């Protein structure tokens, strides 16, 4: 844990992003559309949502498990969301086992 940057926040305190919200608020819809059109990574503005299906993720259950320190470190090094990634690995394992039984 040496050299690890730890940031402490109080409950409800939000992180400061890099977005200049004042500039966004001052922009017109036309300016925003033009900026999006010129951004190769932007999602198209004319997405057809008529066929969209609402998927509600399954409810999570809080548990306490013990894992090897190196396993936990591996997932944590990938950044925020390490518990979600561990869950995804376990889900993949479960699905593979179910396929073999069927």
Torsion sign, CA atoms 60, 62, 65, 67: positive
Query: How many whole angstroms separate alpha carbon 41 and alpha carbon 7?
Result: 30
The token pair at 11 is 């409950």
* Residue 49: per-residue pLDDT: 86
Asked if residues 79 and 90 have their Cβ atoms less than 8 Å apart, the reply is no
**How do residues 63-94 score in pLDDT, each as one tens digit?**
999 999 999 999 999 989 999 999 999 999 99
* Residue 2: per-residue pLDDT: 62
39 lies in a domain? yes
Indicate the number of domains in the chain: 1
Of 14 and 23, the structure prediction assigns the larger pLDDT to 23
Average pLDDT on 9-37 reads 84
pLDDT at 5 over 70: yes
* Residue 52: per-residue pLDDT: 93
Task: Report the run of H or E that residue 18 belongs to, with start and end.
Answer: none
* Residue 1: per-residue pLDDT: 53
Average pLDDT value for the chain: 87
94 lies in a domain? yes
- Residue 66: domain span: 21-44+62-101
2 lies in a domain? no
Asked if residues 56 and 47 have their Cβ atoms less than 8 Å apart, the reply is no
51 lies in a domain? no
In 3D, which of 97, 67, 96 has the Cα closest to residue 82? 67
pLDDT at 25 over 60: yes
């Amino acid at each position: 844990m040496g050299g690890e940057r730890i940031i402490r926040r109080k409950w409800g305190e939000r992180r400061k992003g890099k977005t200049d919200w004042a500039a966004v608020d001052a922009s017109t819809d036309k300016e925003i559309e033009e900026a999006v059109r010129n951004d190769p990574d932007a999602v198209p503005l004319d997405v057809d949502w008529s066929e969209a299906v609402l998927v509600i993720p399954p409810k999570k259950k809080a548990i306490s498990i013990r894992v090897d320190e190196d396993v936990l470190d591996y997932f944590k090094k990938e950044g925020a969301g390490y518990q979600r990634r561990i869950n995804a690995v376990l889900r993949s394992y479960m699905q593979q086992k179910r396929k073999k039984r069927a």
